[in-house]
């Protein structure tokens, strides 16, 4: 069994402005959850932490809770709340 996994993290809207990128590859331990990934993101970009309560997370195109376990080569989309007009 692999001890680490790789995932592709996508940032949208204002989150892209905060991180300075729309996409980042991330290596995490094999049993990492979405919450673990978010903790890494907040450590890298502290300004993201303000958005934490309202972030929407999709794992391989399905909305998930922070307890969802990541898979190797997963795509994780991190989005601010959807705003209507």
Domain count, the chain: 1
Q: Does the pLDDT value for residue 83 go beyond 70?
A: no
Looking at residue 53, which CATH number applies to its domain?
Answer: 3.10.20.30
Residue 18 lies in a domain: yes
The answer to whether 19 and 47 are in contact (CB under 8 A) is: no
Residue that is written with structure tokens 């331990």 in the block: 29
Alpha carbons 81 and 9: distance in angstroms, whole number:
17
pLDDT, one tens digit per residue, over 16-58 is 999 999 999 999 999 999 999 999 999 999 999 999 999 999 9
pTM greater than 0.85: yes
For residue 15, how far is the Cα from the chain centroid? Answer: 11
Residue 84 lies in a domain: no
Residue that is written with structure tokens 């376990």 in the block: 69
Residue 26 lies in a domain: yes
- What's the domain range around 25? 4-79
| CB proximity list for 59: less than 8 A, separation 6 or greater | 34, 68, 70, 74, 75, 76
């Amino acid at each position: 069994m692999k001890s680490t996994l790789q995932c592709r993290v996508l940032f949208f809207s204002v989150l892209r402005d905060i991180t300075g990128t729309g996409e980042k590859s991330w290596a995490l331990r094999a049993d990492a959850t979405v919450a673990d990934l978010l903790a890494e993101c907040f450590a890298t970009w502290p300004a993201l932490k303000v958005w934490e309560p309202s972030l929407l997370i999709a794992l391989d195109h399905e909305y998930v809770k922070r307890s969802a376990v990541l898979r190797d080569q997963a795509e994780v989309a991190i989005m601010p709340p959807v705003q209507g007009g």
